[in-house]
Amino acid sequence: MQLHLCSWIEVDDYLKHSPGIILPIGSTEQHGPTGLIGTDALCAEAIAQGVGETAQALVGPTLHVGMALHHGDFPGTISLKPSTLLLVIRDYLTSLARSGFTKFFFINGHGGNIATLKAAFAETYAHLAELDLPQADRVQCQLGNWFASAGVNKLARELYGDREGSHATPSEVAVTQYLYPAAIKQAPLSEVVASSHKIYGAVDFRRRYPDGRMGSDPSLATPEHGRQFYEVAVKELTKAYLEFLNAD
């Protein structure tokens, strides 16, 4: 079930048997010469919908824009400041908590969102307590980074070894190739790519990672690999969601 395709009556009926909702979040940012700008949001959205179908859970609208300020020197990147994203998440959660949801499971596709999401959870708990909403003390948030699950990491090591890298990775590019085969990109890639520099501002990032990749070789990606990553991520995150939903 997708929240935006439901009526309010259907949501009300859903809440009678489950307080849980899955919220996909990604980013709109460069992913190297062959990666789609929407990669992080597209992966999170598809995997969240797969988890929702498997777990019979409601899936909220995807947050397509995240915290990607360090990619801002590449054309097409859109980013929110951490402070802005924090308030967006807090307002999403507050709205849904007013409806009666208490279990919020975020499926995230972008590493740059992690710190802000954790801060937003803490901010939301305090905000709901101040509002004195019913069941405010029962609200819980959990973060599931699909790209960091044990099965996904194992498969990436088996398929790509140390050529997986940490941005514009063949694993995430493979998932988008599986989901959107008509949008597969081809471009020349340099054999040498930086991988170990710390992340600072956007201009510095592009100077150190000139084509946008971080230690990765996305030319190794295939749609079949993407199907495997998708299935592993859905399986592991479904288990994590159900454990979260049923925990006190």
Is residue 192 pLDDT above 90, yes or no?
no
- Which residues are CB-neighbours of 75 under 8 A, at least 6 positions away? 30
Is 248 within a domain?
no
Is residue 94 pLDDT above 90, yes or no?
yes
> What's the whole-number average pLDDT of the chain?
97
List the structure tokens of 217: 């070789």
* pLDDT given for residue 161 in this prediction: 96
Q: How far apart are the C-alpha atoms of 165 and 193, rounded to whole Å?
A: 10
* pLDDT given for residue 196 in this prediction: 87
Is 247 within a domain?
no
Length of the chain: 248
Is 89 within a domain?
yes
Residue 151 sits in a domain of what CATH number?
3.40.50.10310
List the structure tokens of 16: 């009678």
Centroid of chain to Cα 160: 22
The residue range of the domain holding 106 is 3-241
Is residue 248 pLDDT above 90, yes or no?
no
Number of domains in the chain: 1
3-state secondary structure of 103: strand
Summarised one tens digit per residue, pLDDT across range 105-150 is 999 999 999 999 999 999 999 999 999 888 999 999 999 999 999 9
Summarised one tens digit per residue, pLDDT across range 153-164 is 999 999 999 999
Q: How far apart are the C-alpha atoms of 247 and 178, rounded to whole Å?
A: 34
Res. 87 pLDDT band, cuts 50 70 90? very high
Q: How far apart are the C-alpha atoms of 39 and 45, rounded to whole Å?
A: 10
Is 215 within a domain?
yes
Q: How far apart are the C-alpha atoms of 210 and 152, rounded to whole Å?
A: 27
